[in-house]
Each structure stands twice: as C-alpha cells, then as structure tokens.
C-alpha cells in the first residue's frame, strides 16, 4: 500500500506517496528533502511536478478507486461461461460457443448460432425472421451474409476450442496486491473439446448479455484434440494497485 503524504517528513528519491485527500494519483520523489508544513497543491497531469518544502514530486499516473475496483470486479463475477480459445478474442462472437442452427425457428436480431458441422465461424442474426427448412450455405469470410428463410445471418470468425459453464462458487473475489482485487477461478475438468487447435488463452463470458468480460493468457500454450476432454486448472485474474513505475 502506498503511504499518505506527511508534513515535515524526510523523503528519499524514489519514495511514493498519495495525497491526504485521495485524487487517485501517485507521486514520486525526484529531489530528496523534507516536506513542507502544508500539503502542496498536487498536479493531476502525468509528469507534472510540484515543490513541497525541499522535496520535488512528479505525478506518475492515476489509479482506480476502491469503489471502481469493486464495481468492475463485481461485474466480472457475473460471468457464467469459461472458454479456451486458440487466438485472443476481442469480442463475444469470437469466443462464444452458441447453440447449433435449427430449421423453421424464429430468430431475433443479435441471436448467434453455429452450423451443425462446425466450420470455425458463428453467425449473428442481423434481420429477424424464421429460418428455412434446410440449413443455408454458410459464408466463411468475416462480414459476409447468408439468407435463411426470412432471417439474415452475418459471419464472424470464432476461436473457441472448448467451453464449460461457470456455476455459483466457481468464482471467488478477494483482495490482491497493494490493495488491488483478485478473482480466482476454480478448476474445471471433463470439458469436451470440440475443435482441434492450440489453446492460447481463456475467456470469461456473460451469455445473457453477450459480453466478453475478460481474457487471460496462460504461461504456456497447450494442444487440444477434438473429441478428447480438457481440464482447466485454477487460476487468478488480478488487478494490482500501482506500487511504482
């Protein structure tokens, strides 16, 4: 935890402080000395400096308030699907494992399906309607569309290799380093692998709002073979309050 500024205190070069009235910035001592009797007016622009007695401070960066950390991590705690991907996903469609397409079914804008025979793409409904009696010819380029009965689908490349549900208790929230926050994900086993590839990252999704909540990269990639079963060992996702530069 970074100490709060103190009056008439000896500070050495490299010491870090926060203002007594937290402005979510930290300040690094760049000229050693003794702080003044009154707290300086702290700059909030990065790399701006201020003189304080015989000390000079430089503004380094802003960090999240405790409430902002709690709000953000509590939102992530609403994730209900864990997916292993072969490429870093940047949106929900690239990481999700949707239900397969169904004939003569009503679909709404935003619904996502996959072909009966997986092809590395998923398809987002951009025109609501009822699907046809036969599966359409699915395009395999991002952004291309397919007409299916009265439904229009738009193609999105998908990087998922396997997925598993996150149940109540699989995610735990705790304090992390330097007053930060940490989410621990419980071990998940016996996960059916539906696509052969190299697992390079794990993504946490919220399926009801179709959101990609976080992506974490393991220390090493692993090979996944379609039809086999996978195990994801417990891991932590941590946001650390700054301890320096």
CA dihedral 83, 87, 91, 94 (to 10 degrees): -70
In this structure, what DSSP letter does residue 177 have? G
Q: How many CB atoms lie within 10 A of CB 108?
A: 9
Residues 6+ apart with CB under 8 A from 219: none
d(CA 106, CA 102): 9
Sign of CA dihedral 8, 10, 14, 16: negative
- Give the pLDDT of residue 156: 97
Predicted structure pTM score: 0.72
d(CA 204, CA 78): 9
Q: What is the tens place of the pLDDT at every residue in 177-205? A: 555 788 899 999 999 999 999 999 999 99
pLDDT bin (cut points 50, 70, 90) of residue 63 is low
- Give the pLDDT of residue 243: 41
What the block records as the tokens of 65 is 């308030």
Tell me the average pLDDT across 144-161: 98
Closest CA relative to residue 138, chosen from 118, 109, 161: 118
CA dihedral 220, 224, 229, 232 (to 10 degrees): 20
d(CA 26, CA 15): 10
């Amino acid at each position: 935890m970074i100490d709060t500024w103190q009056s008439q205190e000896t500070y050495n070069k490299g010491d870090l402080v926060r203002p007594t009235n937290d402005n979510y910035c930290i300040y690094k001592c760049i000229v050693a000395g003794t702080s003044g009797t009154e707290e300086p007016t702290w700059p909030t622009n990065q790399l701006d400096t201020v003189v304080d007695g015989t000390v000079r401070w430089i503004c380094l960066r802003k960090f999240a308030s405790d409430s902002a950390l709690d709000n953000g991590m509590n939102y992530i705690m609403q994730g209900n699907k864990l997916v292993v991907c072969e490429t870093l996903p940047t949106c929900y469609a690239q990481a999700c494992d949707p239900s397969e397409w169904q004939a003569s079914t009503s679909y709404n804008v935003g619904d996502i399906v996959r072909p009966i025979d997986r092809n590395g793409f998923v398809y987002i409904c951009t025109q609501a309607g009822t699907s046809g009696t036969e599966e359409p010819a699915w395009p395999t380029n991002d952004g291309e569309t397919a007409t299916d009965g009265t439904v229009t689908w738009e193609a999105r490349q998908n990087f998922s290799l396997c997925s598993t549900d996150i149940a109540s208790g699989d995610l735990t929230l705790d304090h992390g380093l330097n007053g930060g926050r940490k989410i621990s994900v419980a071990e998940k086993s016996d996960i059916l692998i539906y696509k052969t590839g190299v697992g390079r990252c794990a993504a946490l999704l919220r399926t009801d709002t179709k959101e990609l909540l976080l992506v974490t990269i393991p220390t090493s990639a692993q090979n996944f073979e379609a039809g086999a079963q996978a195990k994801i060992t417990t891991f932590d996702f941590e946001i650390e309050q700054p301890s320096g530069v």
